[in-house]
Structure formats: structure tokens, C-alpha cells
Chain A
Amino acid sequence: MALTDETDVVRTEEMLLNVGPQHPSTHGVFRMVVKISGETILEAEPVIGYLHRGTEKLAENLQYTQIIPYTDRLDYVSAMLNNYSLVHTVEEALGIAIPDRAEYIRVITMELNRLASHLIFFGTYLLDLGAMTPFLYAFEEREKIIDMFNELCGARITFNYMRIGGVKYDTPPGWLEQVDAFVKRMKGEMVKYRNLVTGNEIFLARVRGVGKYTTEQALGHGMSGINLRCTGYNWDLRKKKPYSIYDRFDWEVPLGKNGDCWDRYILHMEEMEQSLRIVEQALQQIQPGPVLAKVPKLIRVPAGEYYSGIEGTRGELGFYIVSDGKDKPYRLKIRRPSFENLQILPIILKGVPVGDMVAILGSIDPVLGEVGA
């Protein structure tokens, strides 16, 4: 038989590769079914739900204050923001005025938590790309934040610190000075990170132009946060729909241009600097006072539907409450930014090499607790 066609000589076949749920760089129990030909990805299908715990359903049987610790477990690297998003929605529904000091403490803890979360991104992203030292440097600083939180509320990860009407505890003596010292130190660390990582040729070659998408695609997939801003679209809820006391501070929203991994990386780094700026100003403005408003013992949200979103670490984090006037929500829907951000994966993973898969997934920065909820 005459073999004319090359495909007759060498029979090639696509390989179906199961990435996860137990894989070092899926950042949790996340699974991707990937069809590869050689080193090129032809198709990628994310399979989610391995960390589904039914938070939304559980919340239907819980009083509003009791839901707070459950929110800690959603995005478990930035629990303060989850806490805040829930209590903020309830507060808006009830129309409670929050004491000034409580608002300042909230902003300080939220921004520090955002910083801690971005530090994890910085560390794990570089780890995904094969550099292990930044991970330990980042955790060194994160540990300091976590220690401060521990002193503040007695927990390192799952804080359960925010309350409807304020925060649970006032800051212990000397705590604000500690934060101040940390902010000063952290500014030096940021310079170090920039010198160590941001200019590395191999790192640049790995992230420049990789995992690109346009503003339209991002908006079409409901992306938010850094994953949207990296395309150059100016959308930060702290500026666009100001909540809490963010309008009292002088800070900027860093924007990307190309929507690639590099932009997402650098936006994380710049956002860390902005967080430091906000914390610094909050430390100057904070005054003594009460930290918890007068709220009824049993919180009953009037019947109706309420939604409020905040700028979480990963995008718009919102709680949607349907209340029938009882002390428990009739239905609670959580807008989890990681879940929405992941949906673009099949599109941007098509046609990229296997090595870029982890670079792209890492740059989207999902937290699987939030994806599964």
C-alpha cells in the first residue's frame, strides 16, 4: 500500500489529561479536563464543586449573625472582606449608622487582609512558575498580618470579627502602632519584591502576552476585580460605588492595558501599595470611640430583596438577601468573584502550551473555597 498521506505513517492521537482535583497548582480541589495534543491544549473544561458545602442553603436556617462565621470559609484567605460584605448588606437593609471608629477598624483590617491575600497570590504564582523563594518571603510578611489579626480577634484565618453594626472587639492597646510599624516595613519589602521578581527575564518571558483576553470578553463572562481591570477597564467598587469610608482616603485604582498575565501580576503588586496607602491614612485619621452601634438583639431584616457588593480581593463580592421579615434569610445568594472569573478559562486555555496552563490559572487567582461555596 502506498503511503502518501503523512498521517498514515505516524498516527497521532490527542490525550485526555485530568488536571486535579489533587494537583499542586490548582490552588485547591479544582479539576480541569484537558485535551492535549503534544504540549498544546486543544480543549479545557473546568470541573468545579469539589469544595461545595452548601453555604447558601445552610444560611437559610441561620440567624444573620450566625452566618458570619460561614462567610469566613468562602474565600478563606480574605475572610475579613467576606465578613464585611455580609454585615454591610444587612446594615444597608436595616439602615444602621456605624460608629466612626468601627468603620476605620474595618477599613484597616480589610485592607490588611487584601494585602495578605495578594501576598499569597504573589507567593503561589511564582511557585506555579517554578520559583520557590518568593513564596517563603511572602509568607513571612503574611504571617505578621495574621499575627496582628490573631491579637485583634483571636483567630488567624477565620476571623469572625465583623458584627452587624460594627466590629466585635476594639483594638488592643498598642495594636495600631504595630500596624503602623508593619506598614513602614512592608513598603521596604515591596521594593525588595520588585527588585527580586518583577524584572526577571524568565518571569517576563513566562507572563508577557500570555492568557490574554479583551474587555468585552471579560465583561461578557462577568469578570470583576483585577481580572477585569487588567484589560484597562476602570471598575473598582471602592471608587465607583463608594461604601464604608473609602471616599475619605486619597488613593488610585491601578489599571492594566493588555489583559495578560503580566498585567494581572503587576496589578496585584500595585494594589498592595495602594492598600498600604489607605491603611496609612486610616491610621492617621482614626479617633477613639465606640466600635459597635446599638442594634436590636434579634436582627430582623424587613421583607424585601437586598443586594450590596463590595470590592473583594478577587472582584465584586456581593450578598443578595431575600427576606420575608424573619430573623433568618429566606434565600441568600452569594456573588463569588472567583466563580465568575473562572468561567473564561475554556476560552483562554485553548491553544496554549501545557506550561502556560498553570501560569494562566494562577493569574486568575481563584480561591476554591469561594468557587465551591
Chain B
Amino acid sequence: MTWTWSNVWHWAAHPLSWPGFVGMLVGAVLVLLLALLVVMYSIYWQRKFIGWIQWRIGPNRVGPWGLFQTVADVLKLLIKEDVIPTGVDRTLFLIAPIFAFVPAFLVLSIIPFSAHHVFTANLGIGVLFYVAVSAITIHGVMLGGWSSNNKWGLIGGMRSAAQMLSYEVPLGMSIVGVVLMAGTLNLNDIVAAQAHTLWYVIPQIVGFVVFIIAGTAEMNRTPFDLPEAESELVAGYHVEYSGFRFAFFMLTEYVYLLAMGGLMATLFLGGWTGPFLPGWLWFAIKVFAFITFQFWLQATMPRMRQDQLMSFSWKVLLPLAMANLVITAVVKALV
């Protein structure tokens, strides 16, 4: 194929070409930067929002209204000494944050941010890709906890593995209902299918609830934040990490927040569709609502116990998701 700048942005629709490759590269970098910016300001928003809930002001020192607080925090983590404790399994200790972090960004590639999905892959197995790739993060977290040669880290890592594995199942099951309704695994097509009918949150309300709960657990957020339960495990799997390696784990967590919000918006809330406003803004509003909801939970909920967490997943969420799936299938077959 020839070098034409005209088809740079349409790489998703054509076979791979050089301009398409360049477009992909630029797109990937742009998504990365966008994600970093969103992460930075979602941390700022988290601190502000939780601050308001707790009768505090939140960050207000660095820059106007504390807007540069997270920038300063990231800078601090970047210039910190890179500490690798003597007792650790060096190789695993070094790759664990990468294992955790890379899949978090990979899954962003399939989230359709707007109507003209310029930077995202139009992947036929989109949903499957998300579930599969996000599961790799578990390895990073588990290896991080195990290689630190720290008992708290070990417990945190094991808890995390057990938790993320058990919640992957109801999460997947809750998505299957949507896939059945839309008749496709492609996220773009799922959005398109919702554009003409109801948003799937209404017919799939059970699946939606299961998805939100399982998603919260999958991201290790309150009330399922056991792997890093500060009051029990000090810090959990990242107890020995500091500086930029620690930042990687933090980044993972917040990128997943963004990705999970995007997935939720795409699957249940019609993605970028909505009246009056441009598509990307609708998408941003939906993701913002999800993220704020997560912060709200974080400020109000106590933490569950390990055994309660596991039995809740297998005995409550999974049967619910299964029942939802069966009902969806029956209704679809009848209609």
C-alpha cells in the first residue's frame, strides 16, 4: 500500500499499512497521555470529593484550588530513590509492576471513546479481550506480593489473586447477558445496538448490578479493598514498593477505574450515545459518574472480610448472574 496521509486515521477499517501503523502509534501515545491526564485528575477529584464528604477542604495548596497537587505527587514519586530491598526476588520484583501496569493500558485500546473511534481498535472479540487481558494484572499483583519476601505482601498478593479470580467469573457472566442481547462481542457494535433501542441498563438491570459489584471487587476498591487493607495488612501486596514502582501499581488501579468505567458505559449506558452533547462528552460524563460513585463508596463503606467476600461472589453474585443469563436467553429465544 502507498503512503497516503488521508487514511492515517482510518487504520481500523483497512488492512495494516504504513500510514495506518503510524496512525496507530500516534493514537496509542495519545490514549496513553489522555489516560495519564484522566488518572491524574481523577486522583485529584478523589481527594477533593472525599474531602467534601468528610468535612475537609481537600488539596488546596499546589496551584489554584490545588489543581497541581497530583503533579507534585507524581514528581515526588519519580525523583525518589529506587529502593530494591535485599531479600527480594530481584527479577520478579522488577517485572511485577510492569505485569500489572501494561494490561491496564492494553484494555483501553478497545474502549470506544467517541462516535469516530479514532484511537481505538474495532476488535471483533472486544469484550473477551478486555476480560482476558485484565486477568494478566492478577499475575503482577500476586508476583509483587510474593517476590517482596514480606509476609504482609504475601498475604495481600494471595488475597488479591483469590479475590480477582473469583470476581472475574460473575463479571464475565454479567457481561454475557449484554452480549446475548446485542448478538456481538464487538464493543462498537454493542454501542450501535443500544443507539436504536433502550440502554441495556434497563433490561439488564440485574446484570448491571452484578457488573458494578464485581467490577468494584475486581479493581480492589472499597468495600472489597482487602488486598491492600491498610488496617489489617499495612499496605498489602505493594508494601515493599516505593518510588516509581509503587506509582506503577497506583497507576494500574486508576487506569482500571477509567477502563472499568468505560466498559460499564459501553455495555450498559449506551457508550457515547446521547442527545444534544457530542459523543465524547457523553462518554466522559458516564465514566465520571462511575468514578465518582466509586469514590463515594470509598468514603462510606467499611471493608468486608475475606471469607464473606468469597462466599458473596460464589453464592450470591454468580447465581444472580447465571439466572440473569438464563432469563435473557429465554426471552431472546421467545421474542
A residues with CB within 8 A of B? 15, 17-18, 23-25, 39, 126-133, 136-137, 140, 196, 200, 202-203, 205-206, 353-358
Contacts and interface: CB of A to CB of B under 8 A. Distances in A.
A17 B54 contact: no
B302 A354 contact: no
Given A133-B300, A206-B305, A357-B232, A140 B55 contact: yes
19 contacts: A23-B234, A39-B307, A127-B231, A130-B222, A130-B229, A130-B231, A130-B301, A130-B302, A133-B299, A136-B56, A137-B54, A140-B55, A202-B223, A206-B303, A206-B304, A353-B307, A355-B229, A355-B306, A358-B232
A17 B302 CA distance: 24
A15 B151 contact: yes
A313 to B, nearest CB: 22
| Nearest 8 Cβ contacts at the A-B interface | A130-B303, A131-B302, A25-B231, A355-B305, A129-B302, A136-B54, A128-B231, A130-B302
A353 B306 contact: yes
A130 B55 contact: no
Contacts of A23: 234
Given A24-B234, A136-B55, A129 B307 contact: no
Given A353-B307, A355-B306, A133 B53 contact: yes
B302 A203 contact: yes
Interface of B: 50, 53-56, 151, 155, 159, 222-223, 225-226, 229-232, 234, 299-308
Contacts of A354: 155, 232, 306
Contacts of A130: 222-223, 225, 229, 231, 301-303
Contacts of B305: 205-206, 353, 355-356
Contacts of A129: 231, 302-303
A262 to B, nearest CB: 13
A132 B55 contact: no
B165 to A, nearest CB: 16
B241 to A, nearest CB: 17
A contact face: mostly helix, strand, loop, or mixed:
helix
A106 B18 CA distance: 84
A200 B301 contact: yes
Contacts of A196: 300
B229 A126 contact: no
A206 B306 CA distance: 10
Nearest to B159: A39
Nearest to A36: B155
Contact of A132 (B155, B232, B299): B299
A352 to B, nearest CB: 10
B177 to A, nearest CB: 25
Given A17-B151, A137-B55, A205 B304 contact: yes
Nearest to B305: A355
A130 B224 CA distance: 10
B304 A202 contact: yes
A321 to B, nearest CB: 39
A357 B225 CA distance: 17
A136 B234 CA distance: 20
Q: Which of B50, B232, B299 has the most CB of A within 10 A?
A: B232
Given A205-B304, A355-B226, A133 B232 contact: no
A15 B229 CA distance: 19
Contacts of B307: 39, 353
A132 B307 CA distance: 22
B308 A205 contact: yes
Contacts of B299: 132-133
B308 to A, nearest CB: 6
A17 B233 CA distance: 11
Nearest to B308: A205
B236 to A, nearest CB: 12
B302 A206 contact: yes
Contact of A24 (B151, B222, B231): B231
B221 to A, nearest CB: 11
B160 to A, nearest CB: 13
A126 B302 contact: yes
A25 B232 contact: yes
Nearest to A40: B307
Contacts of B302: 126, 129-131, 200, 202-203, 206
A206 B151 CA distance: 24
B151 A131 contact: no
B291 to A, nearest CB: 18
B232 A355 contact: yes
A13 B214 CA distance: 32
A137 B56 CA distance: 10
Nearest to A205: B308
Contacts of A353: 305-307
Contacts of B225: 130
Nearest to B230: A24
Nearest to A16: B151
Contacts of B53: 133
A32 to B, nearest CB: 12
A205 B306 CA distance: 12
